[in-house]
Amino acid sequence: MVPGQFSGDPVLSATQAAAVDDRRQQSAFTQWIDDGQGGELGQSRLLIGGMYCAACAGQIEAALLRIEGVSRADVSGAAQRAVVVWDPRRTRVSSLIEAVRAIGYGAFPDTGAQAVAQASQASRQSIWRLFVASFCMMQVMMYATPSYVAGAGDITPDMLRLLNWASWVLSIPVMIFAAGPFFRGAWAGLRARRISMDLPIALGVAVTFVASSVATFHPDGAIGSEVYFDSLTMFVSFLFAARTLEARARQRAARSLDAVMRRLPDAVERLDAQGRGELVPASMLTVGDRVRVHAGQAFAADGRLLEGRTQVDEAMLTGESRPVDRATGEEVSAGCLNLGAPVVMEVLQLGAQTRYQRIVALVERALTERPAFILATDRLAGPFLIGVLVLAALAWGAWMVIDPSRALWVAVAVLVVTCPCALSLGAPVALLATAGELARRGVVVQRLDALEVLTRVGDVVFDKTGTVTEDRLALAATVEMQPTAPVCAGLPAGLLRDVARQLAERSSHPLSRALVQALPPADWSAEPADLLEQAGQGVQASVRIAACSLEARLGSGAWCAAADMAATVARPQVWLAVRDGADAAAAWQPVLRFEFDEVLRSDAARGTARLAAAGLKLHLLSGDQPGSVAAMAARLGIDDLRAQCTPQDKLSAVEALQRQGRVVAMVGDGINDAPVLARADVSIAMGTAAALAQARADVIVLSDRIEDLPLLFDTARRTLAIVRQNLRWALAYNAVSVPLALAGWLPPWLAGIGMAASSLVVVVNALRLTRRRAWGSGGR
């Protein structure tokens, strides 16, 4: 896409305005968030056309923020996106679009269909402009060649003038059609009282055409008879070729992030009460609807399977490429792909409540965020462009003294060669490519600044429960005990386990659920009677097995008359105690103890080993007992550990490392980890982490794989290396080319090639981050 190509009527038609302002249609590109005062704000994604520089993004942000009711506008030139937060009581989406179009850029709701249509239209227009510029360039070069190769007197003045006139005629389509967007972009910037990167280009092209036109029709004038139509058409042609390739490269950089946001189907087959299907927009679904999802289609909402069995691609949520089996009664998530067979699902959650929309919100932030060092570069763009104009004016003045016949062309070369496009593109495209590739692997970077900080991290602090362990417990041991008094003599231990399972099935405690998962189904089906669940203690019931009438308790050691024995066991435990059901005064007799242990994530040990091998110092903090923490640290190969930590203890531990000058990354998952996540230099939350922990995190590992952390650190180092390469190249290019242009050794056409090539080089270099082999063993 090229600046200024959206210069038509900025006002939407009544039909167009009604469509973008329709609340149901807005669900495809707008999320509704709480304004903290009982109302709601819209957060809309807009697809922007015609941005090529940092100054473009600043112009669009300024135009949006001038609208009453707009509280935030984030624009990314690399991603060609804007995220706008607006008050529906004070403005409308149509007003946002019109404000952007009024300054010469394109704006559309960022829906899948619109994005594809816009990219296709922009590509066609760029190719047509490139064709016109290239075709005319070749014809102009044909007419210009005789003047370069002919000897003195070989061409008569009349014939030379005719050739110049022909070149002038062929240059007009280049000026009006091919180069038109540059003039409109420069004018839009001036109207907004900003200097865009199109201004030096437009000035250079305009001055070259005007001066060559004067030389064509008045060869005896002050400018002389030298014409540069060949340089003009060559410059525009090469510039368009480079920018077309650059635009496609930037689209490729953002493709992974776009893919995450384009997973929901536009239409779904909703079933009525008789089972008849009707094709409706996904935005019309409501909770409780039954939807048939065909093989190859994405689920439009979170739901539960009612009919069928299939395989589901959940790579968007977990980063895992292998499909998972889903059967009737199991839940599926919006955005995941149905790979196996048609199924029928019941809609449970829609819109912002789905996990998919929460991921989209994270991706939106990655698409539009500009880190601090990029903002610093952007702030330099305006003064830099002013300096370019001043330098060109000074060069013209100096050469008017040295050699007036060359003064104009030296000034044009300076205007063209010093355009800071490469400087403004070098970092954003690299960061965008990295964010997209990481998102495809289940790692979402919320704050792009974190990538730079990750390269300086020396210590990684892990929370234990839910971070290096799974959010479940596993049965580790079952210990039988002989009752001190006879209770239903001859009752086998197997039946006692059945009693424990029957009681556990009737409790919601996490340890009870773990016990149900571990024990086989009971061999008898008698329903426990007189069920009583006491909060914080356990569950009690009357049970009859054959001729035995028992009262049984499943719960804590203290409640089951085993407090002393329970104190000697470090692991989480559940006790089963029984007594004679016919004797209410009988003492409780502990007969079984079930010991549990946390389940270490299958990849945790490999992940921590790779982090340690990379030279990072690892720490483990936990609120659990010392024995449990020490055992887990030993399995992970972590030497520095702390047990029985409160949230304040964890915060103090991180602050102590920071006082030593260490850069600390914190990996956590719980609400109690939110303070320390906020304090760490880089905060990383797991995909199953509490919402507050994720809100405080710079990076979210949706895959829940510790083994993805080494990939994250390695990727950050590779990204910053490429960003530095790009910035060094851009600075070196300007350091070399500007003196050459000032010295008169760089003709305008070569200056144009150099400027276009420098931008293309940094973009192509950044795209090395999207190559599969660049991700090493971390890729899948």
List the catalytic residues: 463
What CA–CA distance (Å, rounded) separates 102 from 94? 12
DSSP tag of 298: B
- Two tokens, residue 297: 């289609």
Whether residue 663 contacts residue 457, with contact meaning beta carbons closer than 8 Å, is answered with yes
Residue 462 half-sphere exposure, CB side, CA atoms within 13 Å?
28
Structure tokens at 236: 């525009």
CA-to-CA distance for 389 and 189, rounded, in angstroms? 15
* Rounded-to-integer distance, Cα 609 and Cα 510, Å: 30
Calpha distance 390→261 (Å, rounded): 44
* Rounded Cα–Cα distance for residues 1 and 108 (Å): 14
Q: Give CB contacts under 8 A, 24+ apart, made by 536-541.
A: 538/507, 538/509, 538/574, 539/503, 539/504, 539/506, 539/507, 539/512, 540/503, 541/502, 541/503, 541/506
Q: How many CB atoms lie within 10 A of CB 17?
A: 17
Query: Between vectors from CA 438 to CA 433 and to CA 439, what angle results, nearest 5°?
Result: 100
The answer to whether the Cα torsion of 628, 629, 633, 639 is positive or negative is negative
To which H or E segment does residue 426 belong? helix 421-440
User: CA 423, CA 762: separation in Å to the nearest integer?
Assistant: 9
Tell me whether strands 664-668 and 459-463 are parallel, antiparallel or unpaired: parallel
**What b/e readout covers 601-632, taking b as 16+ CB neighbours within 10 angstroms?**
bebbbebbebbbeeebbbbbbbbbeeebbbbb
C-alpha neighbours within 13 Å on the C-beta side of residue 127: 7
Q: Are 628 and 571 in contact (CB under 8 A)?
A: yes
Q: How many whole angstroms separate alpha carbon 214 and alpha carbon 208? A: 10
Helix axes 198-217, 748-766, angle to 10 degrees: 160
CA 454 from centre of chain: 17
CA 545 from centre of chain: 59
**Sequence-ordered list of residues with C-beta below 8 angstroms from that of 339, at least 6 positions apart, any chain:** 295, 296, 310, 311, 312, 313, 323
Amino acid at 262: R
What is the end-to-end Cα distance of the chain in Å, rounded? 33
**Of 522, 521, 526, 520, which Cα lies nearest the Cα of 546?**
526
Q: How far apart are CA 141 and CA 34, in angstroms?
A: 62
Tell the residue number behind the tokens 């290396």, with chain if given. 721
Closest CA to 421 of 723, 125, 762, 181: 762
Cα–Cα distance, 759 to 755 (Å, whole number)? 7
